[in-house]
């Protein structure tokens, strides 16, 4: 079967939307992390924008692997976005001018220096920003140590952004805008501080320039995007009549809320992004309700023998537990968000989770727990404890993570997490209560300030043991 490419666009079935008539586009955005999420979410917005304004084509850089880059190069950068929902649809996206791999450093450097590049966006996952547990740049991180020693050939996204800013400042130019699109609380402020801290070590004058000029809007990004799989590739080939080895899939719902920091280049509001002065409210609601519930379903669901989110949602006891956690432990701690009813938001999230057209594997969500949980459940835990309240559902959710780690260690199955070695050695020979104690004491996955909260640590130990034994979930108190 032929591969998807520009040459076959004209012969695709007419019902499939594709950039058939579009003229040439130029690069205005450099994106780090060519992940499925980026290609399904951000690139979809940009693809629609390019019909009106051809200056914002994306050059996507993958800093770790070449696999996706090569697949896309063979397809002239084109790939299919499959919407898996009540009304499914397929669309060919042509938002990218190039895909670059880890060995394309010269081309990446040139793009970052080009005045036409106005915006840098990133989806490198929580761990990709090389931050310590407190959200500041981790100067002990091997990539940061490397990048400070060899700033011209960086390994980390922070190093690359600093290299780009160095070049622009030396050329007497203006900085680009940096827009992080990962699920970190206050992602704009944290990433800005990380870049500035890195630059200060490198060259104080660069850091001053960054302090004065760099804009890093906070964002909230949302669309459930399961990893691509063979079923997707088969469905797409069947519908298009050509093979697409870079297809991506997501639900129809997509949201992109961007902090208003003035002109950033592309006008994303005209393609449906929300540009607002207050991203914080949306971001907290999304991280704590949606992602908090997702991680809970992942760990508790895997322990209960489920494989996907939709399947876990069909487990009445588990779905009821997650619903109660949101209403009783999470929503009461969230400040009101103008224009957003949090209970309606939660209803919508739970409905999205139950979408039977989406096959979202729990083990995908379970990855990188040490990096995700502080934002997803830890912040809710802190607010509750500061109010003197014990959020029992959140404690049991965290206990499910602890139990999951113990089970994986006992079954001799590797966990996918940047701290996997550490987690494995903490979990080896530990019962769940002992591991809970160790995690709380070391501040891994559990907020550091909880280490001295003996009542919480006891409750977490008990909840972890219950989770491993498969004890009934806490009663739903209405």
Contacts with ligand CS2, residue ranges (CB under 6 A)? 183, 222-224, 291, 294, 364-365, 372
d(CA 354, CA 320): 13
Burial 342-373 (b: 16+ CB within 10 A, else e): beebbeebbebbebeebbbbbeebbbbbbbbb
Nearer to ligand CS2, 294 or 385 (CB): 294
Nearer to ligand CS2, 288 or 385 (CB): 288
Which residue carries 């490419």 as its tokens?
A: 5
The strand pairing partners of 27, in sequence order, are 57
Picking from 48, 467, 175, the residue whose alpha carbon sits closest to that of residue 296 is 467
Nearer to ligand CS2, 258 or 430 (CB): 258
Nearer to ligand CS2, 27 or 227 (CB): 227
Q: Which bin fits 193, alpha (ψ -120 to 50), beta or left (φ > 0)?
A: alpha
CB-closest chain residue to ligand CS2? 294
The strand pairing partners of 95, in sequence order, are none
- CB 395 to ligand CS2: min, Å: 20
- CB 208 to ligand CS2: min, Å: 35
- CB 344 to ligand CS2: min, Å: 18
- CB 442 to ligand CS2: min, Å: 22
Q: Decide: 165 and 203 in contact? Cβ < 8 Å.
A: no
- Return the number of other C-beta atoms located less than 10 Å from residue 428's C-beta: 11
d(CA 4, CA 259): 36
Could you tell me the two tokens for 398?
Answer: 């965290």
- CB 294 to ligand CS2: min, Å: 4
- CB 183 to ligand CS2: min, Å: 5
- CB 374 to ligand CS2: min, Å: 13
Nearer to ligand CS2, 307 or 364 (CB): 364
- CB 328 to ligand CS2: min, Å: 21
Question: What angle, rounded to 10 degrees, do the helices at 432-442 and 392-411 form?
Answer: 110
Nearer to ligand CS2, 224 or 236 (CB): 224
**Coil, strand or helix at 476:** coil
Q: Decide: 17 and 92 in contact? Cβ < 8 Å.
A: yes
d(CA 94, CA 246): 12
Burial 81-114 (b: 16+ CB within 10 A, else e): bbbbbeeeebbbbbbbbbbbbeebbeebbebbbb
Nearer to ligand CS2, 225 or 464 (CB): 225
- CB 108 to ligand CS2: min, Å: 26
Nearer to ligand CS2, 291 or 465 (CB): 291
d(CA 478, CA 457): 26
Q: Using CA of residue 147, residue 258, residue 209, residue 197, what is the dihedral sign?
A: negative
**Coil, strand or helix at 315:** coil
- CB 47 to ligand CS2: min, Å: 19
Nearer to ligand CS2, 375 or 456 (CB): 375
Nearer to ligand CS2, 372 or 407 (CB): 372
């Amino acid at each position: 079967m032929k591969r998807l490419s520009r040459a076959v666009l004209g012969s695709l079935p007419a019902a499939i939307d594709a950039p058939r008539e579009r003229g040439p586009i130029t690069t205005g955005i450099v994106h780090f992390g060519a992940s499925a999420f980026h290609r399904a979410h951000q690139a979809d917005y940009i693809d629609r924008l390019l019909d009106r304004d051809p200056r914002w084509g994306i050059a996507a850089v993958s800093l770790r692997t070449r696999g996706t880059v090569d697949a896309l190069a063979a397809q002239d950068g084109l790939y299919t976005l499959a919407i898996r929902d009540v009304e499914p649809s397929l669309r060919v996206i042509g938002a990218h001018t190039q895909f670059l791999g880890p060995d394309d450093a010269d081309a990446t450097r040139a793009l970052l220096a080009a005045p036409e590049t106005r915006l840098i966006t990133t989806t490198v996952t929580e761990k990709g920003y090389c931050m310590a547990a407190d959200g500041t740049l981790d100067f002990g991180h091997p990539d940061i140590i490397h990048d400070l020693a060899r700033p011209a050939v960086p390994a980390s996204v922070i190093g690359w952004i600093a290299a780009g800013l160095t070049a622009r400042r030396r050329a007497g130019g203006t900085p680009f805008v940096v827009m992080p699109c990962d699920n970190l609380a206050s992602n704009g402020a944290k990433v800005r501080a990380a870049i500035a801290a890195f630059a200060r070590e490198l060259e104080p004058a660069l850091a001053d320039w960054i302090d004065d000029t760099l804009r890093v809007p906070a964002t909230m990004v949302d669309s459930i995007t399961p990893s691509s799989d063979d079923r997707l590739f088969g469905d797409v080939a069947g519908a298009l009549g050509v093979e697409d080895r870079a297809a991506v899939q997501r639900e129809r719902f997509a949201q992109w809320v961007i902090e208003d920091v003035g002109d950033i280049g592309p006008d994303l509001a005209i393609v449906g992004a929300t540009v607002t002065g207050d991203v914080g409210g949306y971001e907290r609601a999304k991280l704590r309700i949606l992602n908090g519930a997702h991680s809970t379903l992942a760990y508790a669901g895997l322990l209960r023998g489920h494989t996907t989110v939709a399947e876990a949602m069909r487990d009445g006891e588990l779905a009821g537990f997650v619903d109660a956690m949101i209403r009783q432990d999470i929503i009461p701690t969230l400040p009101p968000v103008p224009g957003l009813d949090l209970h309606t938001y939660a209803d919508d999230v739970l409905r999205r989770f139950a979408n039977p057209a989406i096959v979202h594997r729990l083990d995908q969500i379970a990855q990188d727990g040490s990096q995700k949980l502080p934002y997803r459940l830890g912040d809710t835990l802190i607010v509750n404890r500061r109010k003197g309240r014990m959020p029992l559902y959140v404690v049991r959710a965290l206990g499910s993570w602890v139990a999951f780690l113990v089970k994986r260690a006992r079954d001799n199955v590797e966990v996918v997490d940047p701290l996997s070695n550490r987690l494995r050695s903490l979990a080896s020979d530990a019962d769940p209560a002992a591991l809970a104690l160790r995690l709380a004491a070391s501040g891994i996955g559990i907020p550091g300030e909880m280490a001295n909260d003996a009542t919480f640590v006891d409750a977490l130990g008990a909840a972890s043991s219950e989770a491993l034994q498969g004890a009934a979930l806490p009663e739903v108190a209405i």
